[in-house]
Structures are given as structure tokens and as C-alpha cells.
Amino acid sequence: MKPAFTYHEIREAEKAIIEKEGIPSLILMENAGKNAYEVITALYPDLENESVIIICGKGNNAGDGFVIARHFVINSIPVNLYNFSAPGELKGDALVNFEILQKLASGVCNIRNITEDNFDTFAKSIKKIKGNGIIIDSLLGSGVKGKVTGLYENVILEVNKIKRKNHNIDVISIDVPSGLSDDISDGAVIDACHTITMGAVKTNLLFGKGKENTGILHIVPIGLPAEMLERFSAGSKQIVELEDVQRLFPVRKKTSYKYSNGKTLVVGGSKGISGAVIMSSLAALKSGAGAVLAAFPDSIASHFSKKMFEVIKTELRSAADGSISDDAFDDMSAPLKKADVVLIGPGISLSSTAAEFVKRLVSECSKPMVIDADALTIIADDIEILNRRKPSTDVILTPHLGEFSRLSGLSPEDIRRDMFGSVRKFAKKYNVNVVLKSETSFACTPDGEIYINSTGNEQLASAGTGDVLSGTIASLLAQSGNAKTAMLCGNYLHGLLADIYFEKYGNKQTASVQDLIKLLPEAASRMLG
């Protein structure tokens, strides 16, 4: 796993390392710029045939750009550099590298100083790019607060405009896309094709405008080992990668039998919403559970009988509206006794009878539990039910942002301002595990450990994919007996379905839920090595 940091955390960690370990910041900037240059040349091996432009501001991010420019000069690759800092604004390491670049430029690097007065010079120059072009964005780093205005906003807007009009121009951001602030902002942000970030993943790149504008993310070392960065970090957050999941993914023993490979009980469904519980059950089967049981209202029994031959079925009494009756808990003794793990919620509805059923099951079930979908909304009305549970078994909640807002009582805006802190506080308070589903999903344990998923794309922004995730997590919890393993492997496996679909079909928006479920065997094979 790789460590991940917010802007603030990485700045504080690097500052502490420089002060306490005595590592010169100039060396770190050199490493960052040189390694970024190597990524650029690997991405674009024919740079001699590209028009290369570097835009620089006045901080350390500009310093990285000056180092990159120097390496273009050293390798005799022509480059145009636009410096958007006023006289006297460059300081420290950035100034040192700018002065070195000026001495070495010798016609290979054409340096132009741009202000608001001569901004048209820059705008006209990038419009005249012929053939293929690369704009390297070293304008602003990760220290931006709020909305960018003035000259820098104009630069960002101009770069984005030319990128939209001229598809032969790629934009590469150094560290972060310029304009992406440390808080929620609706300001202008560079729309990058690639972002080369320094040292470690910045979590701001994984959500909101960061996710939208980062493009393909590349991480380059700056000379600080991951262990050192983590030691000086205030919060533990890890990026989960393939080798991590391969190490954790449950493998059947040769001597196993059907009931030793995890028995998953899926409870849900209501009249008119039968698909969710079917999708969750099928996902649990395809994720490797030895047996899948399903409990659903008898009002949808015909749908289940036609589609799910492999599932052990329990029909529950239904209310007049076709949802689960509030006295149906009496029908649950046999499936609960057999199950290793219970998934409650897919398609269960928000009817008053279903709500009473859910609350009783959550209160009295002695098995590890995954709570999803409508069941999350139901327990949000009586959130202390989580602390009233008598058993001390694992509970995993799988909310999206809106559901977590209802559970926590926080607005979506407040959650986005501090996603990790909000989820940590909730998980600790109620002694639960949380998988927060968003453009980048992550898992949080009751101890506050954060595990950020690295697979998936916008293909998953479709109705029903959450049912696949909850079924997969419940299945893996039944197989492994470990909530952390189930969350990490389940998130990764779920995201990989979307990635494999893109590999096969070249788009991120046409898969049905059934298309994704059919890819579970292939995705699981990658987990199993």
C-alpha cells in the first residue's frame, strides 16, 4: 500500500522532515523536477516534434517547472517558458532554480515574463501552436486557498480553452492541476491530461474537481521513503493496490466443502423492487461464497424462482403493499442459524413494516452484518440502534454520500470538506466499519484506519452497482471472517469490473449491472494471481 495525504498533511510532513532530518529542500525539488521530466519523456518519446510550453507561477511549484525546463535544456530539447511571477516574487529554492535556468538557457529555453499588461502575448502564442503541443502546468501548487482570481485565473481559462479547441495539445500538471484548492471551491482549475504528483498521492486529486481534472495520475519520488513520510504524517491513509488485494483475497482450501466457504444471507426486496436483492445475491455467488441464502417477501417469490436457481430461498410474510411484514422476523430463525454473514437492505423499501423488521434484525442479529441501501436510511432515524446491538460482531455500512449525510447528521457539503475526518468520527462513535461510496470509494475501520480504493471509473455511476458491491463485500466477509479484508477486496474487485469493461469495450458508460456481474470471475482470477 502507498501512503496518501491531504495537501495540508503532505506540506506538514515534508516541512517536519526537512527540519528534523536535515534534508535540503533544494535536493527534494531537484528530484521532483528531474523525475517529472523522465515521466514526460516516457509519455512523449518524440518531443523534438512537439511544441513544448511550460507555465510557471511564483512558488515551489514554479521551482519544479524551472527544474523540468533545465532538463529539457540539458537534453537539447527546445522549450518555451512563460514566467507569471513579478520581479521579487520568486524566493528560496524556486529563485535559485530560475537563476540557474537563466544562465543555462542559451537559446534552447526561451523565457518570457508575463504580466496582466502583456497577457495577450501568451494567449496569442499558444493559439499559434502548430502540430502536436504539450503545455506543462507549473503555475500553482497545493497551497491554493479558495478561488483563483486575476492573472492566474486568466492563464488557467486560456489553457483550458486552447485544450478544448486544439485536440493536438495535451496538458500535463505538475503535482496538482493549478487552481485546485485545499477546500471546496468553484474556481477555475486546469483540465489536465496527466498529473505528475510528487512524493505521494494527494487525496484532493481523488474527489470532486480533483477527480474530474487530474487526468491520468503519475506519482514520482522526491527522495523521501514512504516510511519516513508516514512517520511524520498526522493521519493514516493508504492506497490499496493489486498486490495488497492478492495477499488478502480468500482462497479455498483443497479440503473445503460448500458450507466451509462462507454462507451469505441476503435480506431485502419488496414489490416492484425485486432486482436489487437478486443482483446482490448473484454478486455474492460470483464472488466465491460457498452458499448464498436469500430472504425476501413472498410478494416477489415468482421473480426469484425464475432467476435464482442456485440460491437457498426463504419467503417472508409480506405486508399489504408487498414489502416485508413487521412480523416476518419470526420466519428468520432457520436462515439466520445457517448464515455466517447477513446483508440487509437491497430493495427492502422504506415502508413502516419493513422499517420495523430492519430495526429488529439489526438489534437482535448475532452474525456479522453488512447494512446497505434502504436499511441505512431506516437506521438513520434511530442511529443509536448501532450502539444498542448486543453482539460484538463486525458491522459494515456501505453508504453513498447522501446516505452518510442522513446517518451522520452532517450536510453533504460539510462531509466533503472533511470526508476522512467525518467518517472516522462516525466509525469510532458507533464501533462500525464504513465503506463510503463516491467517485473514489474508501473504507474506514472503527480504529480510524482509512483504505482508499484505486480501481473503478464512472461506469459505476449507474443504478444497481451498489447492490453488486454490497453482495460482494458480504460474500468476502463470509469467506474471510475479517471486515477489513472484505472491504478492501470488495472495493477493489468492484472497481475492477468497471476497469475490465473499459479494457474490453473502450467506454465507461454502457455496461448494465448484469454485464458487470458477468465479469466477476475474470476480476477474481486477477485477485487469485
What pLDDT does 21 receive? Answer: 85
Considering the entire predicted model, what is its pTM?
Answer: 0.93
In this structure, are strands 450-452 and 442-444 parallel, antiparallel, or unpaired? Answer: antiparallel
**Which residues, 6 or more positions from 482, have their beta carbon under 8 angstroms from its beta carbon?**
none
- Sheet containing 169-174: give its strands across: 109-113, 79-83, 51-56, 133-138, 169-174, 194-198, 216-220
Mean pLDDT in residue range 401-413: 97
pLDDT at 115: 92
Residue 304 has pLDDT above 80, yes or no: no
| Separation of alpha carbons 52 and 37, rounded Å | 12
| 3-state secondary structure (DSSP) of residue 251 | coil
Distance CA 230, CA 235 (A): 8
pLDDT for 30: 96
**Across 418-440, average pLDDT:** 96
pLDDT above 80: residue 185: no
Give the chain's domains with CATH numbers: 2-234 (3.40.50.10260), 243-248+261-527 (3.40.1190.20)
* Residue 198 grid coordinates: 510528487
Residue 402 corresponds to which amino acid? G
pLDDT higher than 90, residue 522:
yes
14 pLDDT tier (thresholds 50, 70, 90): confident
State the pLDDT at residue 234: 63
pLDDT attached to residue 390: 79
pLDDT at 426 exceeding the cut of 90: yes
How far apart are the C-alpha atoms of 196 and 204, rounded to whole Å?
14
Q: Is the pLDDT of residue 318 over 80?
A: yes
Tell me: the pLDDT tens digits for 230-261? Answer: 777 666 899 999 999 999 999 999 998 888 89
pLDDT at 133 over 80: yes
Mean pLDDT of 182-210: 91
pLDDT tens profile 347-399:
999 999 999 999 999 999 999 999 999 999 999 999 999 999 878 789 999 99
Highest mean pLDDT among 306-320, 379-393, 478-492: 478-492
Q: What is the mean pLDDT of the chain?
A: 93
